[in-house]
A and B are shown apart, each in its own frame.
Chain A
Amino acid sequence: MARLIFDKSRPGSRRYDVADFTGLEPESPFVPDDIRRAEPLPLPEVAEVDVVRHYVKLSQENFGVDVGFYPLGSCTMKYNPKANEEIASLPAWAQLHPEQPVETAQGALALMHELQESLAEISGMHAVSLQPAAGAHGELTGMLMFRACFNDAGEERKVMIVPDSSHGTNPASAAIAGFKVAHLKSDERGMVSAKALKALCEKHGEENIGGIMMTNPNTLGVFEQEVKEVAEYLHEIGALLYYDGANLNASLGYVRPGDMGFDLVHFNLHKTFSTPHGGGGPGSGPVGVREKLMPYLPHPLVTRAEGGFAFYRPEKSIGRMKLYFGNFLVLVKAMVYLRALGVEGLKRVAENAVLNANYIQERLKDAYDIPFYQRCMHEFVLSATRQKKLGVRALDIAKKLLNDGFHAPTIYFPLIVSEAMMIEPTETESRQTLDAFCDAMLRYAREIEEDAEKFKELPNLRIQHLDEVAAARNPVVRWAPEKL
């Protein structure tokens, strides 16, 4: 039985001192009678030392980049520099109140302005909004801007195209923005072909096409060869191109979404720019746009003004996506990282990320199937179909990696590869680490051939085979006191 913080509560074991509290009646004299609380809320009462031990224990039951190799494809689990953390937690940033007059927050505006400009330069865009809180939030922002731009032109354009290899957030974001989603089948190279795209657009009526959401390199880790043709065709029919920046790590300093013909890009600062992922956020998903979409950006944006910096609202702004200015401390961390790397450092990131991925692919290519084998960018997808015939699925291999002290790759994604294992090592891993991972994977391939059932044993995992079916059928999603 997992012991929750609530199970450790002992009445009276935690007194919390609030300065100058004496003389206050326990019951509020200020709340209207019909809504007044009679008893204090029954939160747990746990001594400070026991709270500390509880959460330190939980952290010890968690695997992060600081624990070991984390080749989770599409997630860019690179090392999170400690300078980011240190600087972002300084009072100059952390204690700044968002309702301060801008003249008392010029350091923050300067930082945001520098980040806006840097991201625009990196992506080949003209302006950047830092407001979205995560990648999917950036996608929604972008889709709403497309929608506003079409509304402005008096066009319906209801259809948004997403390749069948795309992230699930792409179609979900498009749907919330009111688009109907059309899936485009990847070709035999795992790529978007201009010909297939044209056929799909003609099927839905070219005048109905709002645009396409693409990643490049795509989720197979390959660079889309026809991206320029795709952009030219879509612009010709009045549609727009969205660039999902989840895979930007491979491109830094070598190729820019704006130069490929994209109109809008979102960044994942918690991936490419090393602000930690935080166990599922907070992230940050700024959007950058070419000139045509600049009037629709969410406000507030930061601009230079006389004697400093100011906020402004673009003339046809879609409005506001989030409170205040985005996940500000995440922006600080991204800016620290950018400043640490500089222009040369960014190129080294892309080079080493791509080299590391290709190195693993090359070492594993004979032991596992690689359906779209070719030079990859920052990640590649292998398939455990050969192993499945022997009774071992991608899931089992993933769990074996966990058992052996590695994090697992992303599995069963993209959906167009069966038994998919998507491997992204990032640039912050050494060849020694990659070799240890490859050695394990090669050993697994042999062990599976020898004895598939024995392979599935996971002696090192304290907890395994969690019953996900029961969890969904009878959801237990909270602890509650017996009497509230």
Chain B
Amino acid sequence: MPYIPNTDADRSEMLKLLGLKRIDDIFDVIPGHVRLDGDLKLPEGLPESELIEYFDFLGAANQIFPAHRILAGGGVYAHFIPPVVKELVHRSEMYSSYTPYQPEVSQGMLQAIFEYQSFVCMLTGMEASNASSYDGGTALMDAVLMAGNITSKPRILLPRFLNPQYREIVETSNLGMQLKLETIPADSNGILDSVALDGELASGEVAALVLQVPNYLGFYEDGICELVDMAHKAEALVIMAVYPFVVGVMRTPGELGADIVVAEGQPLGLPSAYGGPHLGCLATKMEHIRQLPGRIVGRTGAAFDREGFVMTLQAREQHIRRERASSNICTNQALAALQATVYLSIVGKDGFHKIARKCEENAHYAAKQLEAVEGLHLAYPERAFFNEFAVVFDDPEKLNPVRRMLLARDWLPGVPLEESFPELAGGMLLAFTELQNRDTIDEFVGDLKEALNG
């Protein structure tokens, strides 16, 4: 039997010590009336050679697109991952360890998480980061819960163009928390309705205004600094959800006035992986650290004048405070945090900057070419955007056939928008990373034109 080292001789001697004869005697403490009668209806085990064959067979039913032909984003982006990242994350001393409860033998993972927290603080302009949340969506849920606890106010304002899955995660978890979730509408130019925002803030009941930067449709909300000011004047917190690479060209959310920052860390060296495991980044100002959910690693002194790292502020956590804990999180995404840490170390200052610039350069070149195509238009041509934007087909009926033709030419087009945003019928998102160049974009635009006219 795979993975079980005891021999029959071992087992019979061990049973003898216990005064038992047969191996299943060991289960005679299970009352007979709950014991399983017969065997589970599952297949026989496979030897490794056949195992690999079986999963190759299953995997062959997935279509894998060349990375530079993936124009789908919507929160998950096809950036290049240097081979060294995978190599280092596969150190089994790291991946076969548990949450670092015993710091004496876990300094490697603890230091890596401390470095991760430092990177997240640099990216977000915050002062304290947790060791990770599950993903960008659950990190927003954590942030919303935090804002409710910090302010003791009941209302949370969500922007119109928030990632629809983020919204859904917050709504679902709110079943138990009973915060009031309100949406700030936007006008036909995509600008958030400041009158509506003012009205909500005037209630004095707003715990937090959530802003996504760039928003789900890829553009920067108009007048972010003014929106932040309005919220702060009403004593509401500002939660910003950001795409990490935008900070390559934009000031940090902290510099823009955010109080809590969340991010989906997948673009930082994690494969798209059909949506997970990804990485939830969550950071805040030092004054709120005791409301921050999840593990936190701190630096401290040790015997012999040494210095090391420990999990700290555990009095916030479930294993100490039980039902009064700041969150129920236990296992988080430590290895994904390590992966982002290694990735940021590898791309470094130079790479991070270049990747961010190349992403927006590619997207803007593509937008310019697409603007000239008959039969489609940019959804919000006046809004400034980063690496992703929405296009709308003049004839919404064209969307599906065009997408099919693009798929047939090995392009993965972006997310169709109508289901979440009915006003954008015939619309889809297109995302660009550092992996395209002018030739690939020209080829895409050519194929799209043909599909549109075909």
Q: Tell whether, in the assembled complex, residue A14 and residue B10 are in contact, meaning their CB atoms are under 8 Å apart.
A: no
List 6 contacting pairs A-B, 8 Å CB cutoff, sorted by A.
A37-B247, A59-B88, A62-B108, A351-B24, A407-B102, A466-B302
CA distance A171 to B323 in the complex (A): 5
User: How far, in Å, is B394 (CB) from chain A's closest CB?
Assistant: 23
**Residue of A with least CB distance to B278:** A323
**A396 in the interface (beta carbon within 8 A):** no
Contact pattern, B 12-47, Cβ under 8 Å of A = 1, otherwise 0: 011101100001101111110111100111111110
Q: Tell whether, in the assembled complex, residue A328 and residue B275 are in contact, meaning their CB atoms are under 8 Å apart.
A: yes
Contact pattern, B 76-93, Cβ under 8 Å of A = 1, otherwise 0: 101000001011101111
**B353 in the interface (beta carbon within 8 A):** yes
Q: Tell whether, in the assembled complex, residue B289 and residue A31 are in contact, meaning their CB atoms are under 8 Å apart.
A: no
CA distance A424 to B220 in the complex (A): 52
Q: Tell whether, in the assembled complex, residue A472 and residue B313 are in contact, meaning their CB atoms are under 8 Å apart.
A: yes
> Which of B6, B74, B78, B122 has the most CB atoms of chain A within a 10 A radius of its CB?
B6
Q: A90-B55, A458-B104 are in contact. List 16 more A-B contacts (CB 8 A).
A: A89-B86, A97-B78, A99-B74, A101-B403, A140-B328, A147-B176, A169-B318, A227-B34, A228-B31, A278-B94, A279-B100, A279-B338, A327-B134, A347-B39, A472-B298, A475-B289
Residues of A within 8 A of B312 (CB): 468, 471-472, 475, 477
Identify which of A19, A148, A171, A174 contacts B175 (C-beta below 8 A).
A148
User: How far, in Å, is B288 (CB) from chain A's closest CB?
Assistant: 12
Interface residues of B in 167-205 (CB under 8 A from A): 168-169, 171-173, 175-178
Residues of B within 8 A of A386 (CB): none
Contact pattern, A 281-323, Cβ under 8 Å of B = 1, otherwise 0: 1110000000000000010000000000000000000111111
**Residue of B with least CB distance to A415:** B322
**B308 in the interface (beta carbon within 8 A):** yes
User: How far, in Å, is B269 (CB) from chain A's closest CB?
Assistant: 12
CA distance A66 to B94 in the complex (A): 9
Q: Tell whether, in the assembled complex, residue A358 and residue B175 are in contact, meaning their CB atoms are under 8 Å apart.
A: no
CA distance A63 to B110 in the complex (A): 11
**B291 in the interface (beta carbon within 8 A):** no
Contact pattern, A 144-166, Cβ under 8 Å of B = 1, otherwise 0: 10011000000000000000000
CA distance A326 to B40 in the complex (A): 25
Identify which of B18, B42, B48 contacts A118 (C-beta below 8 A).
B42
Identify which of B134, B274, B338, B345 contacts A105 (C-beta below 8 A).
B274
Identify which of B62, B117, B220, B310 contacts A466 (C-beta below 8 A).
B310
**B301 in the interface (beta carbon within 8 A):** yes
**Residue of A with least CB distance to B347:** A16
The interface-forming segment of A194-202, A233-241, A253-261, A447-455 is A253-261
Q: Tell whether, in the assembled complex, residue A81 and residue B2 are in contact, meaning their CB atoms are under 8 Å apart.
A: yes
Q: Tell whether, in the assembled complex, residue A18 and residue B355 are in contact, meaning their CB atoms are under 8 Å apart.
A: yes
**B123 in the interface (beta carbon within 8 A):** yes
Contact status of A37 and B249, CB under 8 A, knowing A323-B135, A324-B276: yes
**A127 in the interface (beta carbon within 8 A):** no
Q: Tell whether, in the assembled complex, residue A279 and residue B335 are in contact, meaning their CB atoms are under 8 Å apart.
A: yes
Residues of A within 8 A of B169 (CB): 319-323
Q: Tell whether, in the assembled complex, residue B346 and residue A48 are in contact, meaning their CB atoms are under 8 Å apart.
A: yes
Q: Tell whether, in the assembled complex, residue B336 and residue A281 are in contact, meaning their CB atoms are under 8 Å apart.
A: yes
**Residue of B with least CB distance to A256:** B36
CA distance A484 to B254 in the complex (A): 11
Q: Tell whether, in the assembled complex, residue B98 and residue A77 are in contact, meaning their CB atoms are under 8 Å apart.
A: yes
Q: Tell whether, in the assembled complex, residue A168 and residue B93 are in contact, meaning their CB atoms are under 8 Å apart.
A: no
Identify which of B67, B91, B225 contacts A35 (C-beta below 8 A).
B225
Q: Tell whether, in the assembled complex, residue A136 and residue B14 are in contact, meaning their CB atoms are under 8 Å apart.
A: no
**B405 in the interface (beta carbon within 8 A):** no
Contact pattern, B 375-394, Cβ under 8 Å of A = 1, otherwise 0: 00000000011100000000
Q: Tell whether, in the assembled complex, residue A399 and residue B104 are in contact, meaning their CB atoms are under 8 Å apart.
A: yes
Q: Tell whether, in the assembled complex, residue B95 and residue A278 are in contact, meaning their CB atoms are under 8 Å apart.
A: yes
Q: Tell whether, in the assembled complex, residue A362 and residue B318 are in contact, meaning their CB atoms are under 8 Å apart.
A: no
Q: Tell whether, in the assembled complex, residue A43 and residue B118 are in contact, meaning their CB atoms are under 8 Å apart.
A: no
> Which of B67, B168, B298, B333 has the most CB atoms of chain A within a 10 A radius of its CB?
B298
**Residue of B with least CB distance to A140:** B328
Residues of A within 8 A of B320 (CB): 168
**A187 in the interface (beta carbon within 8 A):** no
Q: Tell whether, in the assembled complex, residue B92 and residue A66 are in contact, meaning their CB atoms are under 8 Å apart.
A: yes
CA distance A363 to B18 in the complex (A): 10
Q: Tell whether, in the assembled complex, residue A55 and residue B342 are in contact, meaning their CB atoms are under 8 Å apart.
A: yes
CA distance A141 to B48 in the complex (A): 35
User: How far, in Å, is A146 (CB) from chain B's closest CB?
Assistant: 10
Q: Tell whether, in the assembled complex, residue A107 and residue B134 are in contact, meaning their CB atoms are under 8 Å apart.
A: no
**Residue of B with least CB distance to A299:** B168
Residues of A within 8 A of B306 (CB): 462-463
Q: Tell whether, in the assembled complex, residue B308 and residue A41 are in contact, meaning their CB atoms are under 8 Å apart.
A: no
Residues of B within 8 A of A352 (CB): 4, 6, 11
Q: Tell whether, in the assembled complex, residue A270 and residue B348 are in contact, meaning their CB atoms are under 8 Å apart.
A: no
Q: Tell whether, in the assembled complex, residue B96 and residue A66 are in contact, meaning their CB atoms are under 8 Å apart.
A: yes
User: How far, in Å, is A180 (CB) from chain B's closest CB?
Assistant: 8
Q: Tell whether, in the assembled complex, residue A328 and residue B115 are in contact, meaning their CB atoms are under 8 Å apart.
A: no
Contact pattern, B 51-80, Cβ under 8 Å of A = 1, otherwise 0: 110111011111111010010111110100
Q: Tell whether, in the assembled complex, residue A407 and residue B105 are in contact, meaning their CB atoms are under 8 Å apart.
A: yes
**A45 in the interface (beta carbon within 8 A):** yes
Identify which of B52, B348, B357 contacts A28 (C-beta below 8 A).
B357
**B107 in the interface (beta carbon within 8 A):** yes
CA distance A107 to B64 in the complex (A): 11
CA distance A66 to B96 in the complex (A): 6
Contact pattern, B 139-159, Cβ under 8 Å of A = 1, otherwise 0: 000000100000000000000
> Which of B26, B112, B346, B384 has the most CB atoms of chain A within a 10 A radius of its CB?
B26
CA distance A332 to B1 in the complex (A): 21
**B259 in the interface (beta carbon within 8 A):** no
**A348 in the interface (beta carbon within 8 A):** yes
Q: Tell whether, in the assembled complex, residue B301 and residue A45 are in contact, meaning their CB atoms are under 8 Å apart.
A: no
Q: Tell whether, in the assembled complex, residue A122 and residue B40 are in contact, meaning their CB atoms are under 8 Å apart.
A: yes
Q: Tell whether, in the assembled complex, residue B58 and residue A134 are in contact, meaning their CB atoms are under 8 Å apart.
A: no
Contact status of A16 and B5, CB under 8 A, knowing A41-B123, A339-B43, A344-B44: no
Interface residues of B in 395-454 (CB under 8 A from A): 403, 407, 412, 414-415, 434-435, 437-438
User: How far, in Å, is A170 (CB) from chain B's closest CB?
Assistant: 8
Identify which of B27, B61, B248, B275 contacts A107 (C-beta below 8 A).
B61
Contact status of A339 and B275, CB under 8 A, knowing A104-B62, A169-B318: no
**B208 in the interface (beta carbon within 8 A):** no
Q: Tell whether, in the assembled complex, residue A63 and residue B10 are in contact, meaning their CB atoms are under 8 Å apart.
A: no
User: How far, in Å, is A186 (CB) from chain B's closest CB?
Assistant: 15
Residues of B within 8 A of A104 (CB): 62-63, 407
Residues of B within 8 A of A171 (CB): 318, 322-323
